[in-house]
Structure 1
Amino acid sequence: MEEKNSQKAYERVFDYFTAEITSGNLRLNDKIPTERVLSETLKVSRNSAREALHVLEMMGLIECIQGSGNYIRCNTKEYMTRLMSLTMVLQHINHTEVFELRCGFEQTALSAAMEDAKPEELARMKEVLEKMDQPMSAQDSAALDVEFHKILMEMSHNQLMIFYVDQMEDLLKLFVKDLRTSILSDRRRAAVLRKAHWDIYEALAARDEAAGAKALKKHFNVVRKHLKKLIET
């Protein structure tokens, strides 16, 4: 099957999947039509169909399972993180801007969590904090710090915010290696953050939004100063 414009052919395949997913005809983990069927249905060459499927697989929207077929997936985080990292470089976006955006999301999450946090989520947060109070390396403490903020985001029950904050964390890791470990290597700074974490938890448990916002701001100020120092050196 000959095509005069391969770009239009590719777009036709992409538009097909966009329409099928948004309409609900294709859902997560559904098996999709074969290259041959797509080619015949959309009047494009099999090569164009194959190329489009390959791009969709790179984006994490489909998965090719050898001997089984292609399936709808939603593993786009890695692709989007790579895309955003290149965008940051090309648009001269600095790491502080990424951090500030992440702060905004967490502030919104905290506000939502004041109403929506479940008892089991608060219990998980308290358990993490109790572990953080034990003697450990900066690396182990950093891992628990990630878990604390992950729980805070989950308390918002906003899947889009959770996705973007997770992605921004990965972006900061790409450009500022071992940021959390570096921050927590200083005992005084680690102590301030530990208290801020407990203050956030206690504010959530008491449904005290003002106290929670104050504690979160204190936490962010410590991280912001350290990040600025890292970038300047």
Structure 2
Amino acid sequence: MAQQAGALRAWRVVLAHVEGRLRDGSLQPGDRLPGERELAASLGVGRSSVREALRVLEVMGVLRTATGSGPTSGAMVTTSAGSGVATVLGLQAAAQAFPFDDVVATRLVLEDAVAARLAGGGSDLGPAERILDAMDDGSLTRDEFLALDARFHSALAEASGNAVIAAIMTGLRAAIEAYVQQGAGGLDDWEGARRRLQAEHRGVLDAIRAGDGSLARTRIHDHISGYHAATRGRA
């Protein structure tokens, strides 16, 4: 469990590295990052952590990645510190000092809006659906399940098409992971909680697919606030 928590923190090391280089000007639009292997070795993290960080940075518009080999392959920087993205990246660290109640309140505002927007149709819900399918695996550890849980909520934000909401959710992800995992440690019946959380996730997605914005908002609101109420002060 400690190893899994360490892996969750490791990808943020990569974000902090990129943020620092954006701020000091050593990374500019058009520059390319070193390859996965080199980044992993220089930062002391696993390649999977590098890939996760690069995926987040691409969603935020910091990077554009291309497969293959040659001068156009790899991850190219597409923004600068002045774009405001570096500030959002800095939120990764700052958010961990925010009161959990404030983080939860912010999540409710953002994710209520996301659920209602997605219910309007036209969004690709495939990535969120695939994450839920992966979460059905009964062999997942608690921390593995919760890591996918956080990824599911991020996938909904990304599917909304609102780049600002997706970026803010990314910035809050460290704080969200912290209170979700700490709270889970105080639950007496984790397996029961896991089944309930997964049923709630499915319920949110069902309401979205049905085009019922009001129900989708209610379900995501109850899901987030219910978990917080059940785990508050039990970490």
Which bracket does the TM-score occupy, shorter chain normalised?
0.5 to 0.7
The structure 2 residue matched to 1:129, chosen from 123, 127, 132, is 132
Deviation at 1:62, TM superposition (A): 5.7
With CA pairs under 8 Å and 6+ residues apart, which has the higher RCO, 1 or 2? 2
Q: Does the 8 A contact of 1:116 with 1:156 survive in 2? A: no
Deviation at 1:124, TM superposition (A): 2.1
Q: Does the 8 A contact of 1:98 with 1:172 survive in 2? A: yes
Residue equivalent to 1:30 = none
Q: Does the 8 A contact of 2:95 with 2:171 survive in 1? A: no
Residue equivalent to 1:64 = 26
The answer to whether 1:178 aligns with 2:181 is yes
Identity %: 15
- CA pair 220-172 structure 1, distance change in 2 beyond 3 A: closer
Matches of 1:165 and 1:139, distance apart in 2: 19
Aligned pairs, number: 164
For the pair shown, which has the larger CA radius of gyration, 1 or 2? 1
Q: Does the 8 A contact of 1:62 with 1:73 survive in 2? A: no
Aligned pairs (5 A) from 1:127-166:
127-135=130-138, 136-166=140-170
> TM-score when scaled to structure 2?
0.58
Deviation at 1:179, TM superposition (A): 3.7
Aligned pairs (5 A) from 1:1-233:
58=20, 60-61=22-23, 63-64=25-26, 73-74=80-81, 76=86, 77-85=88-96, 88=98, 94-118=99-123, 121-135=124-138, 136-173=140-177, 176=179, 178-179=181-182, 182=185, 186-230=190-234
Deviation at 1:177, TM superposition (A): 7.7
Q: Alpha carbon RMSD of aligned pairs, Å?
A: 3.2
Q: Does the 8 A contact of 2:117 with 2:213 survive in 1? A: no
- Report the 3-state secondary structure (helix = DSSP H, G, I; strand = E; otherwise coil) of the residue aligned with 2:26: strand
- CA pair 128-172 structure 1, distance change in 2 beyond 3 A: closer
Q: Which amino acid aligns with 2:198?
A: R
Deviation at 1:181, TM superposition (A): 5.4
- CA pair 179-117 structure 1, distance change in 2 beyond 3 A: farther
- Report the 3-state secondary structure (helix = DSSP H, G, I; strand = E; otherwise coil) of the residue aligned with 1:129: helix
Gap runs ≥5 in structure 1: 1-56, 89-93
